[in-house]
């Protein structure tokens, strides 16, 4: 059983799914669904269609060069079945997939780190453009904070007074005994 790659979007084509187009020069094009086949027939470039892997790689949204991609290359040399070799191969495939996922995650985090800085920069520019809208809100917030602090101070003072009354009355009760 061989899982092929879609010629247009690079997603997996499982056996019995999708379409196979064979050109006059015997070149085979496998498509995962009719959407990919239609876009191919319309002569669209996969690198310019936003939902394809080729687009994501050319725009730097996914890793384009990595040593783990070498394991996905198609090999046409038949290998005699050996149970031990198959076990090792499956373990190696899992390990390669794990390495690939960690590298993808690291690549994504590095890409988003730059995006975060850009987002902050754009937010600052937007605030500077419309500072007149924010000025009254900031002034109002300071007034509200002042009121909250004053209320808190008065409550604390009231608690201290009531605590001091209790201790003085407690001392008088002890003296009477």
What are the DSSP calls for 145-168, one per residue?
Answer: HHHHHHHHHHHHHHHHHHHHHHHH
Q: Whole-angstrom distance between the N-terminal and C-terminal Cα of the chain? A: 97
pLDDT at 68: 67
Q: Is the pTM of the predicted complex or chain greater than 0.85?
A: no
Tokens 């149970």 map to which residue? 83
Task: Report the C-alpha gap between 114 and 109 in whole angstroms.
Answer: 9
Which segments within 6-111 are labelled E, that is strand?
Answer: 12-13, 19-22, 28-31
Tokens 């006059």 map to which residue? 24
Which pair of tokens denotes residue 50? Answer: 């936003």
Band (pLDDT 50/70/90 cuts) for residue 69 is low
pLDDT at 1: 64
Is residue 4 within 8 Å of residue 13, measured between CB atoms? Answer: yes
Beta bridge partners of 13: 4
Phi, psi of 107 (to 5 degrees): -60, -45
Beta bridge partners of 5: 12
For the residues 43-68, what does the mean pLDDT come to?
Answer: 84
Band (pLDDT 50/70/90 cuts) for residue 145 is confident
């Amino acid at each position: 059983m061989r899982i092929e790659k879609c010629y247009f979007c690079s997603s997996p084509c499982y056996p019995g799914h999708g379409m196979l187009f064979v050109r006059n020069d015997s070149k085979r094009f496998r498509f995962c669904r009719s959407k990919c086949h239609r876009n191919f027939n319309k002569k669209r470039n996969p690198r310019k269609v936003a939902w394809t892997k080729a687009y994501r790689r050319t725009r730097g949204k996914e890793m384009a060069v990595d040593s783990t991609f070498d394991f996905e290359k198609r090999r046409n040399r038949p290998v005699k079945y050996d149970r031990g070799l198959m076990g090792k191969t499956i373990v190696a495939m899992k390990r390669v997939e794990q390495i690939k996922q960690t590298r993808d995650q690291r690549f994504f985090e590095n890409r988003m780190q730059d995006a975060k800085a850009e987002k902050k920069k754009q937010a600052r520019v937007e605030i500077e453009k419309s500072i007149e809208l924010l000025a009254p809100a900031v002034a109002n917030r300071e007034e509200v904070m002042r009121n909250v602090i004053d209320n808190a101070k008065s409550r604390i003072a009231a608690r201290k007074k009531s605590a001091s009354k209790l201790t003085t009355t407690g001392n008088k009760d002890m003296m009477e005994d």
